[in-house]
Amino acid sequence: MSPESYHFGTRLAVRCDYYAFPRTGSHYLWACFTGLFDLVFYPNAFVDNPEAKQRADELNPHAFYVLRLRDDGVPYQPVYINAAPQGVHGAPASGEWPVITLIRDPHPTIYSWFHTATERWGANFPDRVAWMREAYQQYRNFYDAALAQVEKDPARSLLIRFEELKQDPAVLAALVKFVGVQPKLSPAFVHWWTAFERMTKPGGKRTFYRAGNNAQWRSDAGWQADLAKVHPGDFSRYGYPGTT
């Protein structure tokens, strides 16, 4: 057994590589993966650690129980989605396997990244404007590499937009078609069940599963003032508008 030929029992798992920038909605999409596919994992240190497990404390305890169920008559087909082919949040790169990439509007992405880093992990950034400039540049570098992969091999590349994923179950249907297996639960049900308010615990302070929306950054006056100094520029190449 190896990451390149992962058998679960006697069955060879369907494999895809997966890339996503921080705070683009990976945990939401992985909940969808859990509902759609019989996920199997090659052991790795990226998910088997106390901090990663602690995040589950902010979730509805029944959420993943439901997602691990299956419709009657659906055959078992292991699916191996490699979440860190270049390390956690490593830049997308061409490889032997089909690639799934998740993208989100850069402005709520960077906003969420900052607040998760400071409120959950206790990071301190004395010069927030400088941090924001660097974060936006990292976003550009990451998704320049991702789009290059899509342009190079479109048939084996799937770009999922967080905004469309939340809005339309057809995105999950397209994901199932791309992976090429029968889903164990219907895309429509998985889309309904994984709604943010259903998956997270009500009330209380959440530092990882924060708000699940793209608008919060616009109402933060201090952030808006710093963003005006950053001049993050145009993101139409990635399918998103500027800061206006």
> Could you tell me if residue 53 is inside a domain?
yes
> Could you tell me if residue 243 is inside a domain?
no
| Nearest Cα residue to 155 out of 133, 177, 186 | 177
Q: How far apart are CA 110 and CA 122, in angstroms?
A: 16
3-class secondary structure, 161:
strand
Highest-pLDDT range among 23-37, 188-202, 209-223: 23-37
User: pLDDT for 160-200, tens place per residue?
Assistant: 999 999 999 999 999 999 999 999 999 999 999 988 777 77
> Could you tell me if residue 244 is inside a domain?
no
- pLDDT number for residue 206: 53
Q: Are strands 157-161 and 78-82 parallel, antiparallel or unpaired?
A: unpaired
What is the pLDDT confidence band of residue 85, given thresholds at 50, 70 and 90?
Answer: confident
> Could you tell me if residue 2 is inside a domain?
no
| Percent of the chain residues topping a pLDDT of 70 | 81
- pLDDT number for residue 43: 67
- pLDDT number for residue 215: 76
Domain count, the chain: 1
> Could you tell me if residue 61 is inside a domain?
yes
- Is 174 within 8 Å of 161 (Cβ atoms)? no
> Could you tell me if residue 66 is inside a domain?
yes
Distance, CA of 131 to chain centre: 22
- pLDDT number for residue 1: 44
For residue 105, the enclosing domain spans 7-238
Distance, CA of 165 to chain centre: 10
Beta strands in the chain (DSSP E): 7-8, 11-12, 14-20, 38-39, 78-82, 99-103, 157-161
Work out the average pLDDT over 98-124: 90
Highest-pLDDT range among 59-63, 110-114, 174-178: 174-178
The answer to whether residue 46 scores a pLDDT higher than 70 is no
The answer to whether residue 110 scores a pLDDT higher than 70 is yes
> Could you tell me if residue 1 is inside a domain?
no
Specify the CATH number for the domain of residue 50: 3.40.50
| Percent of the chain residues topping a pLDDT of 90 | 56
The answer to whether residue 48 scores a pLDDT higher than 80 is no
Q: Which residues contact 183 (CB under 8 A, 6 or more apart)?
A: 35, 36, 37, 74, 172, 176, 190
Sign of CA dihedral 39, 31, 52, 21: positive
- pLDDT number for residue 190: 95
What is the pLDDT confidence band of residue 94, given thresholds at 50, 70 and 90?
Answer: confident
Work out the average pLDDT over 83-104: 89
**Phi, psi dihedrals of residue 158, rounded to the nearest 5°:** -130, 115
Q: How far apart are CA 244 and CA 230, in angstroms?
A: 13
> Could you tell me if residue 29 is inside a domain?
yes
Beta strands in 85-188 (DSSP E): 99-103, 157-161
